[in-house]
Amino acid sequence: MRTEKTYDAAYFRKWYRDPRKRIVRRAGVARKAAMAVGVAEHLLGRPLASVLDVGCGEGAWFPLLRELRPKLRYLGLDTSDYAVRRFGRSRNVRPGSWGQMAELRFDEPFDLVVCSDALHYVPTREVVRGLECLPELIGGVAYFDFLTADDDLETGIEGDMVGFKMRRAAWYRRKFRGAGLMECGLGFWAAPDLAPQITALERAPGSK
């Protein structure tokens, strides 16, 4: 499988805007953003104040989150030169990747850390490297939305499969739990400080 690709304007036009090819639609992203805000605020017990969006692409979450919480502080990280150049100022998209999070400097943790439709393209070494600093970045909740080798990739999934990393869901769960996060279901993981207030039914099976 070919693994080299460029996240340029043509890439985002194809997968995000071309009626014949696009798999990312605003309504679907809006539902995810609203769900993430609701879960984070439920567990935090207060309004959401800050979001780190890793692998944010064009920063599609930014306007949706701002519609829900106008004063929210948003930072997007992406490796696409095009996305940073085009949306860096208007949506606060900065250069960076999952594996580079440990090298970057942040003033304080984020209420919500998002990595949507990106981690299944990241090499294993970079995934592990990013996990080393993840507990320090999550001040509340993380939302990880991506595919694994356990999904029906042959018939049930459409979209960009170039560079897809065939890792099992169990592998990710071990790594996230090893970083001290608690699984809450539907892709949500809580920071260790929130664990005591999460009920048994809110935790995913196997979480302690």
What's the CATH number where 47 sits? 3.40.50.150
Residue 121 falls inside a structural domain = yes
Residue 150 falls inside a structural domain = yes
d(CA 40, CA 162): 32
**pTM given for the model:** 0.91
Residue 4 falls inside a structural domain = no
Local confidence band at 56 (pLDDT 50, 70, 90 cut-offs): very high
Q: What is the extent of the structural domain holding 109?
A: 9-197
Residue 128 falls inside a structural domain = yes
Per the structure, the count of domains in the chain is 1
- Per-residue model confidence (pLDDT) at position 15: 77
Residue 111 falls inside a structural domain = yes
Residue 102 falls inside a structural domain = yes
Backbone region of residue 42 per phi and psi (left: phi > 0; alpha: psi in -120 to 50; beta: other values):
alpha
User: What share of the chain in percent tops pLDDT 70?
Assistant: 90
Residue 117 falls inside a structural domain = yes
Q: Over the stretch 122-156, which tens digit does the pLDDT of each residue have?
A: 999 999 999 998 989 999 999 999 989 898 766 55
Listing DSSP states for the chain in one string gives -------SHHHHIIIII-TTT----HHHHHHHHHHHHHHHHHHHTS---EEEEET-TTTTHHHHHHHH-TT-EEEEEES-HHHHHHHHHHH-EEE--GGGGGGS--SS-EEEEEEES-GGGS-HHHHHHHHHHHHHHEEEEEEEE---TTS-TTTS--S--TT-----HHHHHHHHHHTT-EEEETTEEE-GGGGGGS-TTTSPTT--
Residue 202 falls inside a structural domain = no
